[in-house]
Structure 1
């Protein structure tokens, strides 16, 4: 006899299916959450295996392509060990702060007052930097202040160990840090620097500019009369290197950085551009016509980005402050891929003038 299928039986089966699905989903979520982080898989001070395939390939490239000798490589890599702390910091999930919490970290009385002092102290040097590179001095000094508190906080991690740690034990970005390790060894060779002595951040950035190695090789310059690019101790090299970076991304001296657009975007094209993030672009004529008739022209008619900056809900009934981000603003986002960072630099630079 065929079993009779009733509504109550179907309901029971469906319920069981739903419960089974929820249990499976919970199990998968638990497994994902339990996935070990890079720092969980190593011991601090663990020796790096220089005989593994990826290091043999690295050494082969350094010898054949860049003329490193076996003796040089032995001196550089002997005794390299893992820094667990570097991996812990890389694994940490940094929560993006809304702008009303982010900006006060940098727009401090100390940063503003010290920046004004530095602008006065290095006035003649900044005259030469502006003339040579065409980048506004306040922006240069603001980046200097935000990156390393005007050179006083350059990081205390051994850069060679950091880059080896991230190449060897941070799989998610191992390829990137292998490339940075090669650039680091090349810049040390080019500028006669002992790679074992350089200190910087847990991500391999160093100096008063906090350049990563590839950025140093591409943008650092000597501006103090010798040939060595010294972003650790030479203020002329530091300020000129910051300026040169922005120059390469088409900074225009004394041109607008941003313009206020109010608390509401009035056209779907502006909304679409803002939704695309820092790479979104829109013709400045459109922004002028639909949002702000007093909008200054963009250099060479280049397009703008649209940026929304979060407002403190305890102080404003509005959620966002919208700005038109000019090509100069966009150049700052090439230094650091954050609109919040670019705005903090800009507002710190503005504060120097008050």
Structure 2
């Protein structure tokens, strides 16, 4: 299913939900809340759960934002948002400032330093834009008022309540993205609980305020998802012939890797630059929509790892290209 169809289905689900009678909607939400309290109370004090639900507020701005994600844009409109001189300069400054932490994280977790720096830059412009929405309100709104992904966001709301308890956080003060992601690296609650690390050694896993903890946590996230330092991430492909044919494999749309490189390459679609690679390794076909044509890339395991952070291939490609810019500029200094 294409990205467009996924978004269309999501919007259709929202329309159908909003079209339902108000009293029916209210009743079903109350049922969901009771179920949420019952299932979450096995790990969180039920009184704390009820208190959170009472304090949480619906936000139409959250619904509006998730209905129009940046990743719905074509590549030629998407990548200029992230690949800017201003972000590059900020990235180099961040790398210089936190050189030792980045070096240590790279060595400890076997993750290339430039991808760590790139992710934090794309996510929050190095901590300058961590999000303006209350995390509690975002997860509450999407968990109970956004049917296409409500189950997922209710799960994240439960994770958030556990996180607040574990890290002694103030749930009413925490702010993040419209999807409830937090801190320098924009971790959702489950990722915070499972992948955040105390990298500055102060006894707290604080990715909200500590850039050093964020550096270690991003590196740990990539390590735990299988990143291999120094290995290729994605390679540009070239269509051969005056009338390019449609690729023989489907463009990747979020599924687990099942094609091998040998399935993707063909006499009509080959590597733009000759390179020795294992054609038996798994890969994906990436399509980037330019103004007047489509560019194709061969994505490898490391590219797939980036999509575990954000499932959009556009995001992963922006992160890759920004990391390459950072690496060139940093070593040219």
Task: Specify the TM-score bucket, using the shorter chain as the normaliser.
Answer: 0.7 to 0.9
Provide the alpha-carbon RMSD of the alignment: 3.3
Residue 284, structure 1, aligned to residue 271, structure 2:
no
Offset at residue 94 of structure 1 (A): 6.0
Number of equivalent positions? 309
Runs of 4+ in structure 1 over 6 Å off: 39-42, 48-51
Residue 308, structure 1, aligned to residue 308, structure 2:
no
1:311-349 Cα deviation digits (max 9, x unpaired):
333xxxxx2222221211111111111111111111111
The change in CA–CA distance for 1:168 and 1:41 in structure 2 (over 3 A counts) is farther
Which of 120, 123, 129 is the matching residue for 1:147? 123
TM-score by length of 2: 0.81
What CA distance in whole angstroms lies between the structure 1 residues aligned with 2:205 and 2:19? Answer: 34
Residue 345, structure 1, aligned to residue 322, structure 2:
no
Which of 155, 180, 189 is the matching residue for 1:204? 180
Offset at residue 113 of structure 1 (A): 1.2
Higher relative contact order (CA 8 A, sep 6+): 2
TM-score by length of 1: 0.77
The change in CA–CA distance for 1:349 and 1:302 in structure 2 (over 3 A counts) is same
Which of 170, 191, 212 is the matching residue for 1:236? 212
* Contact 1:281–1:306 (Cα < 8 Å) also in 2: no
| Equivalent residue runs for 1:137-216 within 5 Å | 137-216=113-192
Offset at residue 135 of structure 1 (A): 0.7
1:179-212 Cα deviation digits (max 9, x unpaired):
1110000011111112111101122111111111
Higher Cα radius of gyration: 1
* Contact 1:304–1:327 (Cα < 8 Å) also in 2: yes
Structure 1 residues not aligned, in runs of 5+: 1-31, 43-47, 314-318
Which of 60, 70, 75 is the matching residue for 2:38? 60
Structure 2 residues not aligned, in runs of 5+: 1-11
Residue 297, structure 1, aligned to residue 277, structure 2:
yes
Residue 331, structure 1, aligned to residue 310, structure 2:
no
